[in-house]
Amino acid sequence: MAGKEVETSAEKKAEIKWNEETERFETEDKEAYLQYHLLQIGEGKTAIDMVHTFVPRSKRGMGLAAKLCDAAFAHAQSRELAVIPTCSYISDTYLPKNPTWSSLVYKDEPKSSM
């Protein structure tokens, strides 16, 4: 049918799941993921240290890394977690393109869980 966009199988697999057990946000096939660790940063205050984003070479260029970050930042916001962007993709690429999330970034000098 002309004019109708067709969803590719890669786009169908772009749904991001939170895997609390492994501390990851991941695609349904678990091939692309954002790894995190929770840290105590003060009395009763917790931060999510986003340490690594991985997308296999075969799935790069589809926006999966950004979708993983979108899910992780939305999760942090909904749980009132500060964000420590240890992963260079998040600090150097994602946040400059998505400045609305900058308000969640922990401003003190945290010790990364790495």
Tell me which residues are annotated as active site: 87
8-state DSSP, 107: -
- Please provide residue 12's backbone torsions phi and psi, each rounded to the nearest 5 degrees: -65, -35
HSE-CB of 17 using CA atoms within 13 angstroms:
12
Pairing between β-strand 45-54 and β-strand 16-19 as defined by DSSP bridges: unpaired
Residue 26, beta-bridge partner list: 17, 33
Radius of gyration of the chain (CA): 15
